[in-house]
Amino acid sequence: MADQIEATFPLLRLAQEARDWLAEEGVPTSDMTIALDVTNLPDETAREGMIMSRIVLIIVVASLFGTGIGAGLGAILSATIGPSGTQGLIIQMVSWAIFAHLLIGMWAGYLLLADRSEREIGRSRHVVLTVSCGNINPNTVVDQMRNLGATEVKQKL
C-alpha cells in the first residue's frame, strides 16, 4: 500500500502548482484530490454574521447623523435664501435631510465594504491536496509540498 500525504495550502493556486509538480514526477492524477477544508465553516459563518451586523449598525448611525446634518443645513438655507415661511422651512429641511441621509449612509457603507484588511476578512479557507505516493519517495513529496507553500503536511501509512 502506498503512503498517503495530505498537504494543506492557503490558496487554491498553490495546491494546483503542487498537483502539477506531482504530475510531472509521474504520479497519476487519479491518485490526487484537491478539496476545500470546510471544518471551520460554521465558525466563519457566525463571524460573517457579526461583521454584517456591525456594518449595518454603522450605516444606520451614519445615516442618522446625515439626516441631522441635512435638516440643519435645510434650516440654515431656508432662513438665509428661502423660501420663507413654515412650508419653505419644512421643504428645505426634509429635502436636505433625505439627501444627506442617503449620501452619508451610502458613503459609510461603501467605505466599510471596500475595506479589504485582514481583520475584516478573517481566516481564509484552506485547500487540502491528498496524494497517494505510489512509485515516488514520500519524503521527497513532503519536502516539495513544503517548498511549494504548504502550511501543514501529514503523512499517513
DSSP letters for the chain? ---EEEEEESSHHHHHHHHHHHHHTT--GGGEEEEE--TTHHHHHHHHHHHHHHHHHHHHHHHHHHHHHHHHHHHHHHHHTS--HHHHHHHHHHHHHHHHHHHHHHHHHHHHHH---HHHH-PPPPEEEEEE-TTS-HHHHHHHHHHTT-SEEEEE-
Per DSSP, what are the bridge partners of residue 155?
A: 5
Q: What are phi and psi of 101, to 5 degrees?
A: -60, -50
Kindly tell me if the per-residue pLDDT of 12 is higher than 60. Answer: yes
* Amino acid found at 51: I
Kindly tell me if the per-residue pLDDT of 143 is higher than 90. Answer: no
Position 49 scores a pLDDT of 77
Higher pLDDT, 33 or 85: 85
- What share of the chain in percent tops pLDDT 90? 25
pLDDT digits (tens, 9 = 90+) for 50-67: 878 888 899 999 999 999
Position 1 scores a pLDDT of 44
Of 49, 153, 155, 64, nearest to 101 (Cα)?
64
Residue at grid coordinates 516539495:
144
Of 132, 115, 126, 117, nearest to 151 (Cα)?
126
Position 63 scores a pLDDT of 94
Kindly tell me if the per-residue pLDDT of 41 is higher than 50. Answer: yes
**Rounded to two decimals, what is the model's pTM?**
0.48
Please tell me which of 82-86, 146-150, 152-156 the model is most confident about, judged by mean pLDDT.
82-86
CA 11/CA 34 separation, integer angstroms: 11
CA 38/CA 45 separation, integer angstroms: 11
pLDDT digits (tens, 9 = 90+) for 88-141: 899 999 999 999 999 999 999 888 888 665 554 445 567 777 777 667 777 777
